[in-house]
Amino acid sequence: MQLVKQEYVKGEGGSLTLVADTGEDLWHVYNLVAAGDQLRAATIRKVTRETSTGSQESQRMRLTLTVEVVDVEYDPEGGMMRVRGKNRTETPHVRLGSFHTLELELNRKFTLTKALWDEVDVQVIARACDPTASADIAAVVMTEGIANICLVTDCMTLVRQHIEQPIPRKRKAAAFGHEKALKSFFDNTMQGILRHIDFSVVKVVILASPGFVKEQFFDYMMLEAQRRELRDLIENKPKFLLCRASSGHKHALNEILTDPNMAAKLSDTKASRDINALNDFYTMLNTDADRAFYGFPHVNEANQRGAIQVLLVTDTLFRNVDLATRKSYVQLVEDVQASGGTVHLFSSLHSSGEQLKQLTGVAAILRFPVPDIDENDTGSDSDSASDSEPEQTPKLEDELDAFGL
């Protein structure tokens, strides 16, 4: 992400001019833009005019408009963001207050203005503008005839190419057809790796499959790399890590990335930090339940006692349209950081974020046991419940509904 101009102060209003360089940058922008903000960008608008003869003609004009944000959509596969809002720019072509949709694309400058830049916004900007923040894990999850080439960042898991080819069964009469089809499939997968994986950035390339498909593919790829003198593959051979997967589909990555045996091998990658934190939470929940809580009421109660050592929270909660709810989560993050705790902001597009989402999107590991949190039943409708709690209920299903999960 390119930071073109900064005119804001944390805790106050102001604007920021940015240029998104990658699809992940647009994801960060999606987490920044909220209803009520103002967004200014170049756009194409169909304008209808009346001619001197009284007839009407329409033409597409390039304009620069500022809209007050009403709704935001993000398309991770298409690499595009759509921001719908009310026009706040005086122009003869678009009347004030009329609705217009701005489309934010890569390498297109835009300016975002907020009435308040809070702590979470500032952290998102710092993260997005960090030149080292990039996809440092690649994965090829495969089985015979199916391969998914993925890039894993600390924010999301993206399938860059899905390869599917029919492979005849390996029988005596059809052995030649099987080998020919398998060779074609391996070659297409290898070309996909060369096309989508930047070895100057990626630290680890996971090859995963049930059975021995990964070994067969790896041997084929290295032989072809020597024969065709493919320097990228030859020089980066040590980066390939072979492991077992239950299937050749994307969801098998969840098992791989959360496997404790993989933790040391992925320890230098950014995505592993959140995964390790989530694993630590599950371990604590099983071994010392009085030091592990999830759901806003319980986590907030632990925060009031200064007990939170590690806070885990998904970015989905900060996109809540209710300002009071967002503020309560921002305050929670600020309190934990002020007390010396660690905050992990999980992406809902990442496998670890999807798992945390099932636990209401917020969880905490405590410095010391607080057994009476459950006994106090902070999620009840009692008068002692905190006014800042977004939902006063102990039921997991109700908490999920309240946060739009």
Bridge-partner residues for 146, per DSSP?
Answer: 143, 164
Q: What is the largest CA-CA distance in the chain?
A: 82
pLDDT of residue 230: 93
Q: Are strands 14-19 and 2-8 parallel, antiparallel or unpaired?
A: antiparallel
Query: Is residue 72 within 8 Å of residue 83, measured between CB atoms?
Result: yes
Average pLDDT of the chain to the nearest whole number? 82
Query: Is residue 123 within 8 Å of residue 345, measured between CB atoms?
Result: yes
Any idea where the domains of the chain sit in the sequence?
2-128, 137-263, 271-402
With 70 as the cut, is the pLDDT of residue 114 above it? Answer: yes
Residue 405 confidence class, pLDDT cut points 50, 70, 90: very low
- Identify the top-confidence range among 25-29, 94-98, 162-166, 347-351: 162-166
Query: Which segments of 235-359 are extended strands (E)?
Result: 240-244, 292-294, 308-314, 342-346
Fold of 2-128: SH3 type barrels. (2.30.30)
Distance separating alpha carbons of residues 57 and 59, to the nearest angstrom:
7
With 60 as the cut, is the pLDDT of residue 131 above it? Answer: no
Share of the chain above pLDDT 90, in %: 37
Distance separating alpha carbons of residues 392 and 328, to the nearest angstrom:
14
With 80 as the cut, is the pLDDT of residue 272 above it? Answer: no
- What mean pLDDT is predicted for residues 67-82? 84
Residue 109 dihedral angles phi and psi, to the nearest 5°: -70, 145
Q: Which CATH class is domain 137-263?
A: alpha beta
pLDDT of residue 152: 81
- Token readout for 86 is 């009310």
DSSP 245: -
- Token readout for 388 is 């800042």
pLDDT of residue 295: 93
- Token readout for 381 is 């409708």
- What mean pLDDT is predicted for residues 164-178? 74
- 375-400 pLDDT, tens digit each: 655 444 333 333 334 443 334 444 44
Fold of 271-402: 60s Ribosomal Protein L30; Chain: A; (3.30.1330)
Distance separating alpha carbons of residues 353 and 154, to the nearest angstrom:
10
- What pTM was estimated for this model as a whole? 0.54
Between 383 and 153, the more confident residue is: 153
pLDDT of residue 385: 34
| Nearest Cα residue to 165 out of 180, 150, 152 | 180
- Token readout for 123 is 């952290």
Between 399 and 147, the more confident residue is: 147
The reply to whether 2-128 and 271-402 are identical in fold is: no
Distance separating alpha carbons of residues 239 and 260, to the nearest angstrom:
19
With 90 as the cut, is the pLDDT of residue 207 above it? Answer: yes
pLDDT of residue 393: 36
- What mean pLDDT is predicted for residues 12-25? 84
